[in-house]
Amino acid sequence: MKLSIRKAVRSDCKAVWTWRNDPVTRANSRNTAKIPWRKHVSWFAETFERGNPQIFIVTAGRVRAGLVSLRMNGKRAEVSVNIAPSFRGKGVGSKAIALACKIAAKLGLVSLEAFVKKTNAASQKAFEKNDFVKNSCKKGLCKYCRRLVS
Ligand SMILES: CC(C)(COP(=O)(O)OP(=O)(O)OC[C@H]1O[C@@H](n2cnc3c(N)ncnc32)[C@H](O)[C@@H]1OP(=O)(O)O)[C@@H](O)C(=O)NCCC(=O)NCCS
């Protein structure tokens, strides 16, 4: 599947909210509570105002297939990924992470980290396929790291 990536725009708000509230996404998140629409709208607007986290939309043709986000912390960032339910299990998550790594390198970041629940096999594999290495696990949450420059 040919995928592209672009910066999120304000009109992506509803799609991002739908993906964030998908039950599998909630179960795999640190905070599993549902996200009310109004809370999402102000969070999404703030991401544009602050520029952090930076959200990118992965597209398959004209269709939104998911997102990756980079939460910047100096020269490092935490990467997270959320694929639209109908696009899961088709290699999109793995490719989305690869695209996020390219963007991060272009932004001059030196390393990325991701936090993945021990029970989230698909996410663990998708990060490992992209050369992320499991660093430590605490209370069911594993930290994955990847350096972008040697
Ligand atoms: C986790 C997620 C990003 C993975 O993306 P994806 O497009 O579904 O996964 P891929 O198709 O790229 O598959 C990645 C690997 O996981 C495997 N996999 C896919 N779905 C799986 C599942 N339900 N259980 C176990 N392994 C699975 C694939 O076989 C592949 O491994 P392989 O290359 O060895 O065959 C996506 O499913 C998702 O957005 N889930 C909900 C939100 C989430 O969990 N985000 C991550 C939070 S850390």
Q: What is the pLDDT of residue 9?
A: 98
Query: Distance (Å, rounded) from C-alpha 67 to C-alpha 150?
Result: 27
**Which ligand 1 atom minimizes the distance to the CA of 114?**
48
**Which ligand 1 atom minimizes the distance to the CA of 126?**
14
pLDDT digits (tens, 9 = 90+) for 58-96: 999 999 999 999 999 999 999 999 999 999 999 999 999
Mean pLDDT by runs of 10 across the 150 residues of the chain is 96 98 98 98 98 98 98 98 98 98 97 98 98 96 92
**Max alpha carbon distance in the chain (Å)?**
43
Model confidence, pTM: 0.97
Answer yes or no: is the C-beta of 60 below 6 A from any ligand 1 atom.
no
Q: Domain boundaries in the chain? A: 4-147
Nearest to residue 7, comparing CAs of 69, 72, 76?
69
Q: What is the pLDDT of residue 149?
A: 79
Spell out a b/e string for 4-15, using b for 16 or more CB atoms within 10 Å of the CB, else e.
Answer: ebeebeeebbeb
Fold of 4-147: Aminopeptidase (3.40.630)
